[in-house]
Amino acid sequence: MPDADWRLSLRRYLMAPANRIFLAITCATVPVFLCAAAPPPDGAPVTSAHGAPGCAGLAPHACIGIALEAMGGANRLAGVRTARYAIIGHREEAEQSYRQAPFQIEYGRETRIVDYRHGAVDRVHESIFPSTAPDENINKTHVVVSAAGAVMKTPGGDRPAARQTREQGDDILHDEPMMVLQAAAKAPDLRYAAPEWLHAAPHTVVTFTDHGQTVRLVLNAGSHLPDAIERTRTFEDFWNVWGDVDQRIYLDSWQDVGGVLFPASRVDQRNGLETAHEQYLDVRFDPALASDAFSVDSAAAAESLRSPGWERPFPPQAQTIVPGVWLFQGAWNVSVIEQDDGLILLEAPISASYTAQALDAAAHLVPGKPIKAVISTTDSWPHVAGLREAVARGIPVYQLDLNRPLLDRLIAAPHILRPDDLARHPRPPQWHMVNQVLAIPSRHNPIMLIPICGPSTERQYMVYWPDAKLLYASDTLVLNPDNSLYNPELMHEVETAVARAHIAPQTVYAMHQAPMPWGRAIGMVP
């Protein structure tokens, strides 16, 4: 029987009151295809199962038909045009350079309006960063994503949003389980994959292609609801550096909202790390919306479509800090140090392409001198994103020994979907691990690498020029718009490390801060 006939027959069968009573009794007594399979035998791995639990004997599209009925019915789900959500949640700040897991947490709440018919998302988000100063730890954003592009709503008007903002909007549209199920029902390549045990219960797994990505949908054998959605994909946010990322979205706390079963709890897991949790406090389908909902400035939205993401251009001009030390100032500062036997690149941030431009710019500054090393002072993900390019070119890298496990995973991370130079030409890294004060001698511009060793800076080290009394303070020195310190504790730990190392800097700068007098920087520490 064709899949379309299966769906129609199943719907009529399930909707009949007598059959609903029969199924309820049967599920309590006899394990038929619409009920949960028996638990795994003793000693069986919880990730294995047999056949298609809950869908035995059915074609894949018929199995999806049962899932659609479980969520409210294909017609009811297809009838949802818009939605308004009130959400609270938290995110693991895994990209930050404080400590490894468990990571510090960013908390937030959001009002989200979604137009599923026209592919538009309006998000008003408020984030709280407990690690920053009390009066600077709340960040409010209002973004709109549509087919026209993505904009940030500001008092001064719409501004083009970054590529990752557009990706986040697209994910909201595509990852909603009722949308995923409808996509699966239409997919010509829908098929069964190996079933598995999840939450200590058997699940059927189907796989199909949606928006160019292979999707795995994990269906509970008893409830027939999707308990997880899986993809292997790339990201435009800080996870971009990890290449092909295995993502699993867990769905739970199902609630009936106007005839639609909706998962009020969601967990975003990437490469095995639970990165974000969302709890939906209020869900409204097809609410009344303002006439100008999702309206954007067309020019700003169009400009957002040209966002380079992390593949942004490198700053064209360098300033001399002291003779033989140049600073390319930008959102992520990169320096070039000339020594007797070669050049050193200080930091390799953002992306492989950005760091490739930095290495080429360094070679242009002093033609004929080799680049003998890259100094990377922190494990923050956007700050080490270019190290794969340095490894691909065979350049030695200085990093803290604490960061070695993360860096090894970074270099080994698969980049099949978007190959970079290291993926195309693999080679082993040349690490120089720093675990104490380490000198890189030279008659001209000798430097010292000094671990900071503070509770918030244990994964960072400083660079000091003893002749010039110049200090590079890694990712610790950042000024707010009012010229106060972004995080005074970080500079307090730098001050402690300076005293411990018996050095006397006169000038200090950092990854996100231009050179300034040392006394001024320390004078802002409470």
In this structure, are residues 413 and 385 in contact, taking their beta carbons and an 8 Å threshold? Answer: no
Q: pLDDT exceeding 70 applies to what percent of the chain?
A: 89
What is the architecture, at CATH level 2, of domain 318-523?
Answer: 4-Layer Sandwich (3.60)
In Å, how far from its chain's centre is CA 178? 23
pLDDT of amino acid 132: 57
In degrees rounded to 5, what are phi and psi of residue 482? -90, 10
H or E element, residue 352: helix 352-365
Residue 319: predicted pLDDT: 97
* 174-233: pLDDT as tens digits: 999 999 999 999 999 999 999 999 999 999 999 999 989 999 999 999 999 999 999 999
Instruction: Note the pLDDT of residue 50.
Output: 54
Within 310-468, strands assigned E span 319-322, 325-328, 334-339, 342-346, 371-375, 397-400, 431-434, 438-440, 447-451, 461-465
How high is the pLDDT of residue 161? 97
At residue 84 the predicted structure's pLDDT band, cuts being 50, 70 and 90, is very high
User: Which helix (H) or strand (E) covers residue 266, if one does?
Assistant: strand 260-270
Order of strands, sheet of 397-400, starting from the edge strand that comes earlier in the sequence: 319-322, 325-328, 334-339, 342-346, 371-375, 397-400, 431-434
The domain limits of the chain are 44-305, 318-523
Q: How confident is the model at residue 8 (pLDDT cuts 50, 70, 90)?
A: very low
The domain defined by 44-305 folds into outer membrane lipoprotein receptor (LolB), chain A (2.50.20)
**pLDDT tens digits, residue range 432-488?**
999 999 999 999 999 999 999 999 999 999 999 999 999 999 999 999 888 889 889
Q: Are the CB atoms for 372 and 339 separated by under 8 Å?
A: yes
Is a pLDDT exceeding 80 seen at residue 361?
yes
* Integer CA distances (angstroms), 119 to 138, 150, 162, 171, 213, in order: 29, 12, 18, 11, 18
Torsion of CA 90, 93, 94, 99, to 10 degrees: -120
Give Cα separations from 189 to 20, 186, 202, 272 (angstroms): 31, 9, 23, 27
Cis peptide before 429 (omega within 30 of 0): no
Nearest to residue 421, comparing CAs of 393, 398, 395, 397?
393
Q: How far apart are CA 313 and CA 237, in angstroms?
A: 17
Which H or E run includes 68? helix 60-71
Q: Which of 81-90, 136-145, 468-477 has the lowest mean pLDDT?
A: 136-145
pLDDT at 77 > cutoff 90 = yes
| C-alpha distances in Å from residue 49, one per residue of 28, 193, 200, 419, 460 | 21, 11, 11, 34, 45
Please give the full DSSP string across 177-202, using - where no structure is assigned.
HHHHHHHHHH-TT-EEEEEEEETTEE
The Cα 350–Cα 345 span in angstroms is 14
Helix (H, G, I), strand (E, B) or coil at 42: coil
Q: Would you tell me how many other CB atoms lie within 10 Å of the CB of residue 522?
A: 15
pLDDT for 526 equals 85
Mean pLDDT of 386-412: 98
Query: Binning pLDDT at 50, 70 and 90, where does residue 403 land?
Result: very high
Interval 106-122: pLDDT, tens:
999 999 999 999 999 99
